[in-house]
């Protein structure tokens, strides 16, 4: 059907739920409801610049699309991601479990954030650790996979799964150079089959993660983080020779005295 041939398109938009609009996830729907946007017509009448400040440029484009302004060509739409990897080589070789625990907590948290940003959920989580292949010390590498009963993008569930996996594969006496978290089985958040007996918990989880993301977006990354990440910073990359960020960080702008 040609949309332009509809006599009263606003009346039709008023009957369209937000989660039937392409690009609106369940989490975004709940957040939009909280600010008074209940259906597609409300979305059309909303201020796209204001919504961009709260949700990003993708939401602004969705509003324009609902208004009939083409913003995203079909060939520009990326294919859904099949996996998410968060990994890093350490600034120094690690031997203690707590140092690895802090790193893995960060990787799991960041992976969960990526999932939520892209409207995805994962059915499995893989954690791995490894020594340097160029090290003269004994070599070791291993991984552990956890499968979730219901696909999730909840940071707390991912952190718990990642740390349980780390406990299974960690061996003392090795100098670890790298670790990471892989989400190998991703699903679109809107098509995930939830548990019949766990709806209240899922709703609480969604609200908690939305609040966590909102606080970190307003007050800076990692304004709120899990305690197990804060127990060590030894895994951080060495950055004493990092190039200045003149064009992306206001703190690093040059000061010229005349």
Domain residue limits, the chain: 3-76, 84-229
**In CATH, which of 1.10.150.20, 3.30.70.600, 1.10.10.1150, 2.30.29.30 is domain 3-76?**
1.10.150.20
How do residues 200-258 score in pLDDT, each as one tens digit?
Answer: 556 777 788 888 888 888 887 777 888 888 787 777 765 555 667 767 777 777 777 77
| Superfamily of segment(s) 84-229 | DNA polymerase, Y-family, little finger domain (3.30.1490.100)
DSSP states of the chain as a string? --GGG-S-HHHHHTTSBGGGSTT--HHHHHHHHHTT--BHHHHHHS-HHHHHHHH-HHHHHHHHHHTT---S-GGGSPPPPS-EEEEEEEEEEE-SHHHHHHHHHHHHHHHHHHHHHTTEEEEEEEEEEEE-TT-SSPP-EEEEEEEEEEEE--HHHHHHHHHHHHHHH--TT--EEEEEEEE-SEEEGGG----TT-HHHHHHHHHHHHHHHHHHHHH-TTSS--GGGTT--TTSPP-TTPPP-TTT-GGG------
Q: To the nearest whole number, what is the mean pLDDT of the chain?
A: 83
pLDDT of residue 220: 76
pLDDT of residue 240: 53
Highest mean pLDDT among 83-97, 162-176, 181-195, 204-218 belongs to: 162-176
Residue 180 pLDDT exceeds 90: yes
């Amino acid at each position: 059907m040609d949309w332009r041939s509809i006599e009263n398109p606003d009346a039709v938009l008023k009957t369209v739920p937000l989660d039937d609009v392409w690009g609106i996830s369940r989490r975004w729907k709940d957040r939009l409801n909280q600010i008074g946007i209940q259906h597609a017509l409300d979305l059309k009448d909303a201020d796209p610049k204001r919504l961009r400040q709260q949700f990003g440029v993708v939401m602004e484009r969705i509003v324009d699309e609902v208004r009939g302004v083409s913003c995203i060509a079909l060939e520009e739409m990326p294919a859904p991601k099949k996996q998410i990897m968060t990994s890093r080589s350490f600034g120094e070789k690690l031997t203690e479990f707590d140092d690895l625990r802090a790193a893995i907590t960060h990787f799991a948290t960041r992976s969960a954030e990526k999932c939520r940003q892209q409207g995805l959920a994962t059915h499995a989580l893989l954690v791995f650790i490894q020594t340097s292949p160029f090290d003269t010390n004994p070599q070791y590498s291993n991984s552990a996979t956890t499968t979730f009963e219901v696909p999730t993008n909840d940071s707390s569930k991912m952190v718990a799964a990642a740390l349980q996996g780390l406990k299974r594969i960690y061996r003392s006496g090795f100098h670890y150079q790298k670790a990471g978290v892989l989400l190998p089985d991703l699903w679109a958040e809107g098509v995930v089959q939830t548990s019949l007996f766990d709806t209240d918990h899922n709703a609480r989880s969604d609200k908690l993660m939305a609040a966590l993301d909102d606080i970190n977006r307003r007050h800076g990354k990692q304004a709120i983080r899990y305690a197990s990440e804060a127990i060590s910073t030894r895994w951080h990359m060495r950055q004493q020779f990092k190039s200045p960020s003149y064009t992306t960080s206001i703190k690093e702008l040059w000061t010229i005295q005349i």
